Structure 1
Amino acid sequence: MTNYFEFYNLPESFLADEKAVKAKYYELSRAYHPDFFANDTPEKQQEILQLSTVNTNAYRTLSNPDLRMQYILKEHGILEEGGKNDLPPDFLMEMMDINEELMELEFDFDAAKLHEIGENVAGLTATLDADILPTLQRFPDLHGVTKNAALEEVKTYYLKKKYLLRIKETLSKFAARS
């Protein structure tokens, strides 16, 4: 499997230079456009088609912060599909409390309570983002922190963020009903 950062000749980073990603995508889109190889051998046409596909997939992944984070974690074997992706117990307890509050809203809707839960989730998300930012900015030059420890920290952030996103989606459904 092709490493997308190497394919684009860019350093691996959670905070990739999105302008550089886009510029590389357009450069390679022109270079690997199938129309330019219409008179080549079928083998060459197939090779160009594969390179064009890798380019498209690389761009989709590296231009999206969440997909880029997921990609880096998977590339380092830190995030496993269907694997053991545990979250800290204190976070899970906090989420359980929020989910219980949401269940109560199902039976006894209260717009003020919905707003309060939304504010709480927004605050948790903002704190989460602020806490991880220094690690994302320093990666992979971590100075005193091992790369694996940093990746584990980012993995925990990524999983928490996904969990909070699901809660935000539930909040949106409530807001749409009211």
Structure 2
Amino acid sequence: LPNDFLMDMMELNEALMDAKMEDDTDAIDRIRQTIAQNEQDLYAHIASIVEADQEPMAEETLLPVKDYYYKKKYLKRILAGLN
């Protein structure tokens, strides 16, 4: 995963830990909203690939989908930590 994404996730995790320690439900809700927005932004980058009715696709065409998958998985793990 790209370093900028990992740095953003590290900051998000730190904010989550702080919010949990302080039992700050507003901050937790903001983190949920941030994650939801990140998911939408990530999908927007690959929507045209996923929705394309083209088979077979070249491997380099699918690389952004792979990147999306790993980023989405990371975000889901953070969401699981909210519960």
User: 1:133 is matched by which residue type in structure 2?
Assistant: A
How far apart are the structure 1 equivalents of 2:59 and 2:2? 18
Match of 1:112 in 2: 26
Whether the 8 Å contact between 2:46 and 2:65 is mirrored in structure 1 is yes
User: 1:116 is matched by which residue type in structure 2?
Assistant: R
Q: Secondary structure at the match of 2:51?
A: helix
Match of 1:162 in 2: 73
User: 1:134 is matched by which residue type in structure 2?
Assistant: S
Match of 2:36 in 1: 122
Instruction: Kindly provide the CA deviation profile for residues 18-74 of structure 1, in whole angstroms up to 9, marking residues without a partner as x.
Output: xxxxxxxxxxxxxxxxxxxxxxxxxxxxxxxxxxxxxxxxxxxxxxxxxxxxxxxxx
- Relative to its length, the structure with more helix (as a share) is 2
Instruction: Kindly provide the CA deviation profile for residues 123-178 of structure 1, in whole angstroms up to 9, marking residues without a partner as x.
Output: 00111122211011224366xxxx1212211110000010111111112x1xxxxx
User: 1:156 is matched by which residue type in structure 2?
Assistant: D
Shift of 1:106: 2.9
How far apart are the structure 2 equivalents of 1:104 and 1:131? 31
Identity, % of aligned positions: 38
Q: Secondary structure at the match of 1:90?
A: helix
How far apart are the structure 2 equivalents of 1:167 and 1:98? 8
Q: Give 5+ residue unaligned stretches, structure 1.
A: 1-86, 174-178
RMSD of aligned C-alpha atoms? Answer: 1.5
How far apart are the structure 1 equivalents of 2:61 and 2:81? 31
Q: Secondary structure at the match of 1:156?
A: helix
Decide whether aligned partners of structure 1 residues 140 and 89 sit closer, same or farther in structure 2, where only a CA change above 3 A counts. Answer: farther
Higher RCO structure, 1 or 2 (CA under 8 Å, sep 6+):
2
